[in-house]
Amino acid sequence: MKKNVFVRSVRLVLRDEPRIFMMIPVCALLDAAFPYIGIIFSARLLTELTLGKDPGMLFFYAGMLAGLTFIGMLLKNAAGQYLDVLYYIEMKRIVQSICEKSWRLDYSMFSDNALRNRIQSMSDWIYWQGPIAAVQKLQGMIRHILSLLASIAIMVTLVTARAQGDDIIASCLNSFMFAAVFLVGFAIRTVVLIRNDIKTNALGAEITRKKEKHIGRFYDLVWASCGDYKRGKDIRVFSAADLLLDRIGQTLGEVKRLDIKSRTSEAKKDIFGDITEAVFSLAVYLLMGLKAFYRAFGIGSLIEYTGMVSQFSSSVSGMISVFADFIANTQYLNMYFEFMDMKECEANGTKIPEIKDGISLEIKDVTFTYPGTQSPALKEVSLTIGRREKVAFIGTNGSGKSTLVKLICGLYRPDSGQICLNGVPIDEYDRSRYRRLISAIFQDYSLFAFSLGENVSANSEYDSVRAEKALKMANFGRRYADLKDGLETPVSVYMDDNGIELSGGEEQKVAIARCHYKDAPFVIADEPTAALDPISEAGIYSNLFENVRDKTGIFISHRLSSCKMCDRIAVFDKGRLVEFGSHEELSSAGGLYEKMWNAQAGYYV
């Protein structure tokens, strides 16, 4: 059976941060009790003023009122602040766990827009509708219940206080029927308000679900485009502002339409609630006024009852709204737990790779179609890369080279066929152990807005000597010598005013350094020098080849001269492997390779 999401939230928070549940009763009690200090002592003070004979008592009640209000305020604030800090600590954990979960999910799942939108929209509502919010609602509920109990206790004396006199109104006020009608009226009001609140809040949650799609797009469109350093260039040079504004208008229009729907129902709820409230208050004040008129109680008590009635009323409507909130919250919690329960890595075996004498790779009859697309990006590709062999992948744009790299890295799985490393299908390996074997420079690599050292090592702790060596091997040495903060230099001005903005080629060098730093036995470089000048390129290639001398390597490049350094060349065309052999074999085979080779040679002759 599926566990209730609310119970799960409470257990989650209880497990992580039990102090929260120690503080909740304290805070709820202080919050609930606080208003009563004012009500009770100002009533006593008034009674003393009108009827009292002892001025000492006047001072006593005034002192109590001021003193207790002060102490109560102090305690209430201190406890509230402490609890807020605890909530904050737990919120940090929850946000981190969402990020961690995202990265544990199979990369291929992110082809799905819905998943990306879910994460995007969660980043918005997790603070006010996530598991912490559920616990906060519980706290609110406890507080309202405590307050309600206190006000009921005092209200009972209001209803039972006997009116003095023997006319019809007095006997009416004292009759049992009168109290009963009063209570039934109150019960009806409560039920109506509950239904109303639940309906509205459920609609709110439903609309948030629908908004998910738009919110994701909205963030990307508006904020990312306004603040983005890279996109800013294209937007200005191609005067794309109108296009963007137009799209922003469309997206916001959709969001507005959904918003209006939820706001209309909120407004209806508010009007309805206000009318019910007014009728109820009228009845209560009439009752109190009449009872006071018929001397059921004195002026001091009248003040007390007035305060109680408003406490009673606010705790009842508070309870109702928390209760309705709970119900709406369930929908958000469902979305949260749906995500956290998503099945992780489909192919995660237990085998530990044995790589004593190098890595060989066997690609057997692999066909692969990207999720959500129709035609395969790879068709029946078979090739074997021997231990310590270097193979170049070449082919026209879109022929499937990068796709095959992604499959080899285990980011996607083939529709059919198999990829084996040292004779074992890669799905049978423990995923993280398998990934440790591969050092890849992706065509669309990305750097982080962290320090240079963290970028090279992909870690917050790193070996500086190794990192510097890796940067030098990637021809970043000259630029590095200029950096006064060395490895500590923040990459990109986004993170730090002291950050450096790297050129496209320099970024690529850092990505290459990352590959050197990892020093894995299997190196894959997907167009690693596309952004580099010819002098850097030559140096980088010779270092890369030096580094992989005892390793297995795949190199993708459009500069065919660099392919000559590889043992064999695999030529791709429209998702198929069309030629596979050494440069000598292929350069006169009359196939695609020869054609490409001759086309490029033309520039240099």
**Where along the sequence are the contacts to ligand ADP (CB under 6 A)?**
370, 373, 377, 395, 397-403
Residue 403 vs 475, nearer CB to ligand ADP: 403
Q: Which does 514 bind (CB under 5 to 8 A by kind): Mg ion, ligand ADP, none?
A: none
What is the closest distance, in whole angstroms, from the C-beta atom of residue 403 to ligand ADP in the complex? 3
Enumerate binding residues for Mg ion (CB under 5 A): 402, 443
Residue 402 vs 455, nearer CB to Mg ion: 402
What is the closest distance, in whole angstroms, from the C-beta atom of residue 513 to Mg ion in the complex? 21
Q: Which does 398 bind (CB under 5 to 8 A by kind): ligand ADP, Mg ion, none?
A: ligand ADP
Residue 216 vs 400, nearer CB to Mg ion: 400
Residue 300 vs 528, nearer CB to Mg ion: 528
Q: What is the dihedral of CA 164, 170, 174, 175, to 10 degrees?
A: 150
What is the closest distance, in whole angstroms, from the C-beta atom of residue 106 to ligand ADP in the complex? 14
Q: Which does 377 bind (CB under 5 to 8 A by kind): Mg ion, ligand ADP, none?
A: ligand ADP
CB-based contacts of 594: which residues, under 8 Å, 6+ apart?
586, 587, 588
Q: Which does 47 bind (CB under 5 to 8 A by kind): Mg ion, ligand ADP, none?
A: none
Q: Which does 399 bind (CB under 5 to 8 A by kind): ligand ADP, Mg ion, none?
A: ligand ADP
What is the closest distance, in whole angstroms, from the C-beta atom of residue 321 to ligand ADP in the complex? 45
What is the closest distance, in whole angstroms, from the C-beta atom of residue 374 to ligand ADP in the complex? 10
What is the closest distance, in whole angstroms, from the C-beta atom of residue 399 to ligand ADP in the complex? 4
Q: Which does 508 bind (CB under 5 to 8 A by kind): ligand ADP, Mg ion, none?
A: none
Q: Which does 262 bind (CB under 5 to 8 A by kind): ligand ADP, Mg ion, none?
A: none
Helix (H) or strand (E) holding 67: helix 55-104
Contact between 502 and 466 (Cβ < 8 Å): no
Q: Which does 403 bind (CB under 5 to 8 A by kind): Mg ion, ligand ADP, none?
A: ligand ADP
Residue 502 vs 515, nearer CB to ligand ADP: 515
Encoded amino acid at 562, one letter: S
Pick from 6, 336, 326, 318: nearest CA to 198? 326
How many angstroms separate the Cα of 510 from the Cα of each of 56, 276, 447, 495? 81, 67, 8, 17
CB-based contacts of 458: which residues, under 8 Å, 6+ apart?
514, 518
Residue 397 vs 432, nearer CB to Mg ion: 397
How many angstroms separate the Cα of 395 from the Cα of each of 222, 239, 518? 38, 35, 28
What is the closest distance, in whole angstroms, from the C-beta atom of residue 550 to ligand ADP in the complex? 27
Token couple for 552: 């297995």
Cα 59 to Cα 206: distance, rounded to the nearest angstrom = 56
What is the closest distance, in whole angstroms, from the C-beta atom of residue 1 to ligand ADP in the complex? 38
Angle at 148 between CA 143 and CA 152, to 5 degrees: 155
Residue 319 vs 512, nearer CB to ligand ADP: 512
First and final C-alpha spacing in the chain? 74
Residue 317 vs 402, nearer CB to Mg ion: 402
Q: Which does 400 bind (CB under 5 to 8 A by kind): Mg ion, ligand ADP, none?
A: ligand ADP
Pick from 451, 453, 462: nearest CA to 492? 451
Token couple for 566: 């590889």
Token couple for 419: 């990829």
Residue 377 vs 381, nearer CB to ligand ADP: 377
What is the closest distance, in whole angstroms, from the C-beta atom of residue 508 to ligand ADP in the complex? 16
Q: Which does 186 bind (CB under 5 to 8 A by kind): ligand ADP, Mg ion, none?
A: none
CB-based contacts of 358: which residues, under 8 Å, 6+ apart?
387, 388, 521, 550, 551, 552
What is the closest distance, in whole angstroms, from the C-beta atom of residue 395 to ligand ADP in the complex? 6
Residue 391 vs 473, nearer CB to ligand ADP: 391
CB-based contacts of 98: which residues, under 8 Å, 6+ apart?
119, 122, 123, 126, 339, 340
Contact between 215 and 341 (Cβ < 8 Å): no
